[in-house]
Amino acid sequence: MPHSRSWAALAALLALPLAACTQPLTRQAFDDVASRTESIAGARPAWPQDAAETAVNAEAIRQLLAKPLDAEAAMRMALLNNPRLRADFSALGLSAADLQAARRPPNPGFSFARLRRGSDIEIDRGIGVDLLGLLSLPLLSDIEARHFETAKLNATRHALNLATKTRTAWYQAVAAAQTLALHDRLRDAASVQADLAREMRRAGNIPLLDQVRAQLLQAEIALAHAAARQQAWLTRQRLGLLLGLEDGFALPDRLPEPPEQARRIADIEAQAIANRLDIRIAEAELAAMARADGLSNATRFVNLLEGGLVRNSESGRADQTGYELRFELPLFDFGDIKSSRAAYRHAQARDNLAALAQESRAETRAAYAAYNTAFDLQRQRRTEILPLHQRIQEEMLLRYNGMLAGPFDLLAETRAGLMAAIAAIEAQRDFWLADSALRFVIHDAL
């Protein structure tokens, strides 16, 4: 028992430096991911590992929550506080551990046998090592290094995906709240019209049909108001989930104004091919697969090769020493299946990369077309339709003051103007969503 405790303690002491080796590698990998994310999204993710880093991160979050979150602040908040993203970053540590393991030679094996024949005792001892694993160590290390680079690209992709989702959820939440405020005004206008119709019907100034129509309109607007209220609540909940918050954050009252001119991006398809992380990940996987194919071809006929030293002791006789080799005989499996699988995997990865590049160009063209269309639609509603409704309301108010139009005409035009304002907010929201989608599709795609 004391010997077993000694071996356990020795193993624990040896494991400490091995585990510590992965920490600097993981930290360096995360710094690369954070820098790449910041260069694209304009915000740096956080992955606190100790009490000091946690305190710094908590202070940054507190400062962001001190005022209403705009789109950029919401994106920074998500990168600092989203627990799902931190879980994704843990994959870097796993990949770093795999890389460290691939850089180390295989552990030697020890065998011991004690045989007894009457009073004679025979003891066999041996130490062996996986020679094939030792010879393929450089190639295995290179393959894992490429997988490690792919893990960093995937972590960056997850961070950028979160940034884009947060920006999208922010536009939806702010637009829904802004729309709800207009639905409040619509509900109030419909209530005034219904009350007026009820009073005028009681006085005998309007027929029953007009009163019923006013009540029906009030009921329909109440339903639309309830749907708008539900949408405002739902979009805020979705945003809070991405922010890592259940509540306790404030948002602006309205969406930001769109730019005066739409973006003009030259060689947008070439930019997408050069920048998109999903293509870079596919390229890295193809390169790693090519190296793995080289290993498969090198070990096509031999899957197992072990060598070791042997020492046998027998009572009354001198010790026997020597070595032994152990390998598989390729009698039934000549390696052709392994080679065929490797070739098909390589061809599949190559064709997937080509298809991904083709899809990227098509998605980029579609996203850019959607962006330009959304820009034109919101501009038309903002600069043409809304001013016309405003002009009509002013003229209707003048006619009402001159007793040339009734109160129902004025209320109807007010309602039409509010509906046009809601449509303008939705068009403005759709523009910002298209803008966010265009930013994302240039760099990545799901």
pLDDT in tens, 27-67: 888 898 999 888 888 899 999 988 999 999 999 999 999 99
pLDDT of residue 166: 96
Give just the sign of the alpha carbon dihedral 320, 326, 329, 332: positive
* 3-state per-residue secondary structure call for 132-201: HHHHCHHHHHHHHHHHHHHHHHHHHHHHHHHHHHHHHHHHHHHHHHHHHHHHHHHHHHHHHHHHHHHHHH
Between CA 140 and CA 104 the distance in angstroms is 10
Helices (H), 203-313: 208-243, 268-275, 277-298
Report the chain's C-alpha Rg in angstroms.
35
pLDDT score recorded for residue 291: 61
- Torsion, CA 229, CA 232, CA 238, CA 241, rounded to 10: -90
Supply the pTM of this predicted model: 0.73
The CB density around residue 268, as the number of other CB atoms within 10 Å, is: 18
* pLDDT tens track for 328-351: 545 544 455 556 666 767 677 777
Residue 179 has pLDDT above 90, yes or no: yes
432 vs 375: CA distance, rounded Å: 9
d(Cα 339, Cα 304) in Å, to the nearest integer? 16
Question: What is the model's pLDDT at position 236?
Answer: 96
pLDDT of residue 11: 41
Kindly state the tokens that stand for 433.
Answer: 């969503």
**Residue 219 backbone phi and psi in degrees, to 5:** -65, -40
Q: Which of 10-19, 42-51, 170-179, 421-430 has the lowest mean pLDDT?
A: 10-19
Q: Which of 107-111, 114-118, 294-298 shows the lowest per-residue confidence on average (mean pLDDT)?
A: 294-298
Q: 165 vs 96, which has greater pLDDT?
A: 165
pLDDT at 118: 65
Q: What is the DSSP letter of 85?
A: H
HSE-CB of 93 using CA atoms within 13 angstroms: 10
In sequence order, the β-bridge partners of residue 120 are 117
**Nearest to 324, CA basis, from 299, 305, 300:** 305
Asked if residues 370 and 433 have their Cβ atoms less than 8 Å apart, the reply is no
Distance separating alpha carbons of residues 138 and 31, to the nearest angstrom = 26
pLDDT per residue over 301-316, tens digit each? 444 444 454 555 555 5
* pLDDT tens profile 259-295: 988 877 766 766 666 666 666 667 666 666 666 555 4
Q: Are 98 and 148 in contact (CB under 8 A)?
A: yes
pLDDT band at 321 (very low <50, low <70, confident <90, very high): low
